[in-house]
Amino acid sequence: MVARHDQTSDPQLLESLLQARRGTAFFARKLNELSDADLDGPSLLPGWSRRHVTAHIGYNARAIARLIEWAATGVETPMYASTEIRDHEINFGATLPAIALRHLFDHSAVHLNVEWRDLPADAWHHKVKTAQGRIVPAEETVWMRTREVWTHAVDLNNGATFSDIPAPVLERLLKDITGAWKTRGTDTGLLVKVTGRQPELEVGSAGPDAPLVISGPLAGVARWATGRGTDGVTATQNGAPLDTVPAAPKWI
């Protein structure tokens, strides 16, 4: 039997697909470490149990697969019919028996992987629309999924941390978040410094004399920027250290 393989030969896209698949495998490992009873426990997201996180990741794979089908066929197939239906889907999924919830994750991940694998090389440039209304090439779906599986593996509240996420993923995540802040104008007067690297990475619309400076290693800064805590980061206001690190501007 001839082995099936990705239709694209673009090295950058293949690397991105590998990162998404590794993230899916990491999420699967953290999920499989949990007992069925553990699924009822709280995630790191307010108001969501581990069941909600797992359901979200499962249905997210199905939604992204619909975009790949759109790119392949040219027939518009939105991620979700509406935000309300998406939320209802997640809440319903969280009520499934544990074995069904696990199957949802497993089967949806395989389905998405097959859709990616079989998408013709030229179709990766076809335009699709995200749930937020952005028009993007199909190749953007790989990053969309990468971001979801790595960050929500941490949200399962099963020992994973942002330090487990590969640096290239954290760097792009931070770029996405700070880009969203800039678009909204919510980063005024804010400078974010990533320490522990040469040269240090600085992001934000403000210069080095910004009133508010947030500093820390890449994993800590990314964690703070996603609104998931302030451990490992420090803040200064007009050059003076702050006892409490302010919350990051809203990301999503």
Instruction: Give me the half-sphere count of Cα atoms (radius 13 Å) on the Cβ side of residue 23.
Output: 30
Mean pLDDT of 70-95: 94
Q: Which domains does the chain have, with CATH numbers?
A: 11-160 (1.20.120.450), 167-241 (3.30.1050.20)
Q: Per-residue pLDDT for 1 more than 60?
A: no
Q: What is the mean pLDDT of the chain?
A: 92
In tens, the pLDDT along 119-162 reads: 999 999 999 999 888 999 999 999 999 999 999 999 999 999 99
The whole-number pLDDT of residue 4 equals 79
Burial of 138 (0-12, 13-18, 19+ CB in 10 A): buried
Q: How confident is the model at residue 238 (pLDDT cuts 50, 70, 90)?
A: confident
pLDDT on residue 211: 86
Compute the C-alpha angle 109/9/12, nearest 5°. Answer: 75
Q: What is the pLDDT of residue 2?
A: 43
Residues 6 or more apart in contact with residue 225 via CB below 8 angstroms? 173, 174, 177, 178, 192, 248, 251
pLDDT attached to residue 209 = 61
What pTM, to 2 d.p., does this model score? 0.92
**Separation CA 83–CA 167 (nearest Å):** 31
Mean pLDDT of 26-53: 98
Residue 204 has pLDDT above 70, yes or no: no
Please state, for a pLDDT cut of 70, what percent of the chain lies above it.
95
For residue 31, pLDDT beyond 70: yes
Give all strands (DSSP E) within 19-138, no chain letters.
127-129, 135-137
Closest to 229 measured CA to CA, from 243, 248, 216? 248
Query: Tell me, what's the pLDDT at 152?
Result: 98
